């Protein structure tokens, strides 16, 4: 970060990688992030001074790097992470957004929050304890969220005499557990977050490990194919209709491309009306662009005056999403109040809002065995299960597997308006 | 097909525009908190892009401490005129005069904390149901914990231990009567991103950000701008030198950097080489370990 011959051009051309931490409480997630920032020289002097000062004040013998992300008073008092902290750093190769998430089961919802926007997860395992229930829960959530890259960091190797055997044993255990999950890119790394082994610098204590360091992996893992660039989807967020003489007849559909691409001249269909039209122009501020790609925020104008409003979706002829009111989803439940099988919930899906009721609870996941429990169907806080819902209006969706944007939704409590569940469409 | 990718700055821009549009769609009466600093200037620029050719669907709200850099007000008024926007000003001085806020005394007296009272009063007076702020997660450790859509109870309080889950880019802006939201479209931007974007978009900036001659004094290792109402300790002396502001806020607590940077490119070079954070110069954050968290809990920006 602190380069003297800084190049704006190089900075602008960097790729962005969003990653998250996961794993059981106290396995060393926050310490690892602190170490990563510290050893890559991404910490400012005043931040470091503050953390040194606060470490001494809290009676730590050495500087406690977890304080770099554990910023809340309650977190510092209890020595745990409660909510996600976001940190940013860049190396000459990439820019990173880190979500350091809590391991404590009570705060699983915050782990899911941090993980939902990530394309890579660091799963920490304490070398002394091995694979825990919470390790499995988080790995399973990462799998549900379709995070394509998982790096399993076997941490605290310093407390196990940097033993290769320990590392191999944990790797075997993890592989046995995760055989039921389909994780496209899985790596294992022995580290000491406390001392920095294999984080930014290769470990001198583990000559038997000859693979890349964590930072090297983060800088080089290929992430270009992580978005859906095939199926064109444009959820309409907002209709732009200026009331001015200059733009009297202007009517633009503002939104962010959720999949594929759109170009001027494309024949489109607007859901739910199934009306057809052609893209007249794709506007971006005072100019128009020939094409809009996945994740770009633009404004689309059509040749015909058809009725389109927020919550509708523009797609292309010959490539329609599913349109349905009965939907099977995997859910992660976040609220103390369990899922009410007779209740109604508000549902938010892309820019669309509807209400839904629960048709059926198919199973609850048994986290220890990763098996489907069909006997006990109460879905309480931190439970994961499969349900079928019926919505008041049709949703336009793809399976989460195909598209993380059009395949995801949240459930909102009608009384408190709290977000009570995350849903992934099957 | 050639492998294309969107660089990280446009990814941030796309995300922020998306957030602004969600605000316009989900709320009835949004305010955009405009302080005249670089973050709020970038926010206004993004909002223009998000809704062009429509006018901003937001009211600009300035919480005025009365201790402003003169230039900030000039810049603000010019921008408001250009945009044809609606501006409301909440005055900390009025809050003090009405007895709703008490002026601090002593050497480090600042109106920064008092802004919370005025901010909450302004939100209530104009019935804003959401206030868009320029806060960034990289600024401070409590801010690093903030959601894009941050829920506030009827007292304007933030409860960091009990935030709503926020998944993917699905934002839940639903609230009960009296509650409101704070929304931070620049959450994922760093100071460097902001300046790179200003350069890329060629956004006009107040000259305070560039080098200029200024009277200043050193306090606790931080250069502070001198103004007639500021109390000096006996050991402090006012000097005149070349400075620039790294952040612009209330004059009493905005740190200055000794600098000769007179272009955006110079500023970017300076930031790339700096080893202290921009808030390292803000005496309001140095008051205690959890100063920011405490202020935010009470309803601060
Ligand atoms: N010996 C040793 N101790 C470590 C290592 N990494 C972390 N620790 C210690 O483990 C404890 C927990 O570390 P944290 O980083 O707070 O753990 P965490 O995973 O972030 O915990 P939560 O966020 O609350 O789930 C602290 O006392 C750390 O100093 C390591 O590599 N070796
Ligand atoms: Mg932690």
pLDDT digits (tens, 9 = 90+) for A371-424: 999 999 999 999 999 999 999 999 999 999 999 999 999 999 999 999 999 999
* β-bridge partners, A149: A120, A185
Name the token pair of A309.
């409003």
- The CA-atom distances, in angstroms, between B75 and each of A61, A122, A287, B68, B79 are 50, 46, 26, 12, 6
Q: What pLDDT shows up at residue A189?
A: 97
Ligand nearest to the CA of A87: 2
Same domain, A58 and A121: yes
Name the token pair of A16.
């962005």
Q: What is the CATH number of the domain that holds A150?
A: 3.40.50.300
Same domain, A306 and A328: no
- In chain A, positions 303-342, which contact chain B (CB-CB < 8 Å)? 310, 334
Same domain, A311 and A327: no
Domains of chain B: residue spans and CATH: 2-193+289-298 (3.40.50.620), 206-286 (no CATH)
Residues 6+ apart with CB under 8 A from A83: A72, A75, A102, A107, A110, B145, B160, B161, B163
Sort out which chain B residues have CB atoms less than 8 A from A68's CB and list them.
141
Cβ-based contacts under 8 A for chains A and B = 198
Give the burial string for A334-364 (b: 16+ CB within 10 Å, else e): bbeeebeeebebbbbbbbbbbebebeebbbb
What is the three-state SS of B224-273?
Answer: EECCCCCCCCCCCCCEEEEEEECCCCCHHHCEEEECCCCCHHHHHHHHHH
Sort out which chain B residues have CB atoms less than 8 A from A46's CB and list them.
276-277, 280
Q: What pLDDT shows up at residue A3?
A: 44
Same domain, A352 and A311: no
Q: A289 lies in a domain?
A: yes
For residues A236 and A247, the answer to whether their CB atoms sit within 8 Å is no
pLDDT-based confidence at residue B108 (cuts at 50, 70, 90): low
User: Region A141-163: what's the mean pLDDT?
Assistant: 95
Share of chain A above pLDDT 90, in %: 75
The Cα of B140 is separated from the nearest Cα of chain A by a number of Å equal to 8
Same domain, A214 and A239: no
Same domain, A117 and A258: no
Query: Are the Cβ atoms of A297 and B11 closer than 8 angstroms?
Result: no
CA A23 to ligand 2 centroid distance, Å? 9
Q: Which of A120-129, A268-277, A344-353, B67-76 has the lowest mean pLDDT?
A: B67-76
For residues A85 and A20, the answer to whether their CB atoms sit within 8 Å is no
What is the count of structural domains for chain A?
3
Q: A226 lies in a domain?
A: no
Name the token pair of B5.
């990718």
Last residue in a domain, options A161, A196, A220: A220
Ligand 1 pocket mutation pick from A24, A26, A38 by most atoms within 8 angstroms of CB: A26
Q: Which of A45-49, A87-91, A136-140, B127-131 has the lowest mean pLDDT?
A: A45-49
CA–CA gap between residue A68 and residue A37 (Å, rounded): 9
Which stretch, A62-71, A115-124, B287-296, has highest mean pLDDT? A115-124
Same domain, A409 and A365: yes
Ligand 1 pocket mutation pick from A66, A72, A214 by most atoms within 8 angstroms of CB: A66
Last residue in a domain, options A220, A254, A273: A220
User: Quick one: which atom of ligand 1 is closest to the CA of A69?
Assistant: 20
ipTM: 0.93
Range of the domain at A266: 233-316
Query: Are the Cβ atoms of B9 and A12 closer than 8 angstroms?
Result: yes
CA A126 to ligand 1 centroid distance, Å? 9
Is B59 in a helix, a strand, or coil? Answer: strand
Pocket of ligand 1 (CB under 6 A): A 25-31, 66, 80-81, 102-104, 124, 155-156, 158-159, 192-194
Q: What is the CATH number of the domain that holds A253?
A: 2.40.30.10
Q: What pLDDT shows up at residue A368?
A: 84
Last residue in a domain, options A220, A245, A278: A220
Question: From atom 21 of ligand 1, which residue's Cα is the shortest distance away?
Answer: A26
Same domain, A283 and A328: no
Comparing CB atoms, the residue among B14, B164, B269 nearest residue A6 is: B269
Question: From atom 8 of ligand 1, which residue's Cα is the shortest distance away?
Answer: A28
The Cα of A233 is separated from the nearest Cα of chain B by a number of Å equal to 15
The Cα of B246 is separated from the nearest Cα of chain A by a number of Å equal to 15
Query: Are the Cβ atoms of B167 and A408 closer than 8 angstroms?
Result: yes
What values do phi and psi take at B124, rounded to 5? Answer: -70, -45
pLDDT digits (tens, 9 = 90+) for A164-194: 999 999 999 999 999 888 888 999 999 999 9
Sort out which chain A residues have CB atoms less than 8 A from B138's CB and list them.
86-88
Comparing CB atoms, the residue among B8, B138, B165 nearest residue A113 is: B165
Q: A225 lies in a domain?
A: no
pLDDT digits (tens, 9 = 90+) for B35-55: 888 999 999 999 999 999 999
Same domain, A247 and A203: no
Q: What pLDDT shows up at residue A407?
A: 96
Q: What pLDDT shows up at residue B210?
A: 92
Same domain, A213 and A164: yes
């Amino acid at each position: 970060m602190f380069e003297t011959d800084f190049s704006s051009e190089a900075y602008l051309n960097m790729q962005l990688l969003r990653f998250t931490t996961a794993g059981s409480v106290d396995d060393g997630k926050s310490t690892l992030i602190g170490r990563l920032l510290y050893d890559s020289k991404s910490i400012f002097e005043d931040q470091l001074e503050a953390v040194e000062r606060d470490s001494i004040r809290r009676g730590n013998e050495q500087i406690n790097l977890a304080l770099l992300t554990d910023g809340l008073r309650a977190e510092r008092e209890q020595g745990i992470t409660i909510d996600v902290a976001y940190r940013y750093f860049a190396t000459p190769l990439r820019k990173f957004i880190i979500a350091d998430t809590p391991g404590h089961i009570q705060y699983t919802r915050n782990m899911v929050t941090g993980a939902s926007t990530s394309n890579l997860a660091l799963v920490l395992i304490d070398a002394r304890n091995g694979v825990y229930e919470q390790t499995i829960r988080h790995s399973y959530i990462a799998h549900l969220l379709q995070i394509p890259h998982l790096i399993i960091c076997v941490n605290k190797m310093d407390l196990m005499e940097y033993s290769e055997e320990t590392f191999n044993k944990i790797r075997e255990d993890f592989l046995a557990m995760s055989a039921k999950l389909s994780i496209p890119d899985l790596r294992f790394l022995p580290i000491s977050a406390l001392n920095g082994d294999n984080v930014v610098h290769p470990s001198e204590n583990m000559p038997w490990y000859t693979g890349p360091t964590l930072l090297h992996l983060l800088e080089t893992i290929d992430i270009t194919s992580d978005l859906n660039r095939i199926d064109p989807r444009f959820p309409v967020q907002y209709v732009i209709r200026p009331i001015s003489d200059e733009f009297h007849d202007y009517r633009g559909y503002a939104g962010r491309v959720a999949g594929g691409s759109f170009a001027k001249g494309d024949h489109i269909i607007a859901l739910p009306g199934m009306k057809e039209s052609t893209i007249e122009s794709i506007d971006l501020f005072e100019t128009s662009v020939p094409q809009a790609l996945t994740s770009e925020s633009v404004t689309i104008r059509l040749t015909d005056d058809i009725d389109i409003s927020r919550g509708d979706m523009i797609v292309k002829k010959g490539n329609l999403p599913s349109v349905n009111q009965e939907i099977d989803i995997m859910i992660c439940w976040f609220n103390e109040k369990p899922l009410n099988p007779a209740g109604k919930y508000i549902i938010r899906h892309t820019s669309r809002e509807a209400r839904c009721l629960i048709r059926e609870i198919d199973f609850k996941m048994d986290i220890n065995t990763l098996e489907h429990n069909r006997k006990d169907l109460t879905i309480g806080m931190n439970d994961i299960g499969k349900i079928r819902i019926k919505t008041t209006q049709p949703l336009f969706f793809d399976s989460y597997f195909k598209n993380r944007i059009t395949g995801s939704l949240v459930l909102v409590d009608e009384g408190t308006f709290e977000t009570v569940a995350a849903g992934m469409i099957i | 097909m050639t492998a294309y990718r969107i660089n990280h700055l446009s990814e941030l821009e796309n995300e922020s525009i998306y957030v602004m549009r969600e605000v316009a769609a989900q709320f009835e009466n949004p305010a955009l908190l405009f302080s005249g600093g670089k973050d709020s200037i970038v926010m206004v620029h993004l909002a223009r892009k998000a809704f062009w050719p429509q006018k901003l669907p937001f009211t600009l709200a300035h919480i005025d401490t009365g201790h402003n850099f003169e230039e900030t007000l000039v810049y603000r008024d010019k921008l408001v005129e250009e945009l044809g926007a609606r501006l409301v000003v909440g005055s900390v001085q009025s809050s003090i005069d009405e007895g709703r806020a008490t002026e601090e005394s002593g050497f480090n007296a600042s109106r920064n904390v008092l802004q919370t009272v005025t901010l909450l009063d302004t939100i209530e007076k104009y019935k804003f149901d959401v206030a868009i702020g320029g806060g960034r997660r990289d600024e401070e450790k409590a801010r690093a914990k903030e959601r894009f859509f941050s829920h506030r109870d009827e007292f304007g309080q933030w409860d960091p231990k009990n935030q709503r889950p926020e998944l993917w880019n699905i934002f839940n802006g639903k609230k009960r009567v009296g509650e409101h939201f704070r929304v931070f479209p620049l959450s994922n931007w760093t100071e460097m991103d902001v300046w790179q974007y200003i350069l890329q978009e060629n956004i006009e900036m107040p000259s305070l950000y560039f080098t200029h001659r200024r009277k200043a004094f050193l306090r606790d290792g931080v250069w502070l701008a001198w103004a007639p109402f500021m109390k000096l300790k006996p050991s402090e002396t006012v000097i005149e030198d070349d400075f620039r502001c790294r952040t612009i806020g209330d004059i009493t607590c905005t740190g200055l950097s000794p600098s000769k940077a007179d272009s955006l490119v110079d500023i970017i070079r300076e930031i790339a080489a700096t080893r202290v954070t921009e808030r390292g110069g803000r005496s309001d954050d140095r008051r205690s370990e959890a100063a920011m968290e405490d202020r935010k809990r009470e309803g601060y920006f």
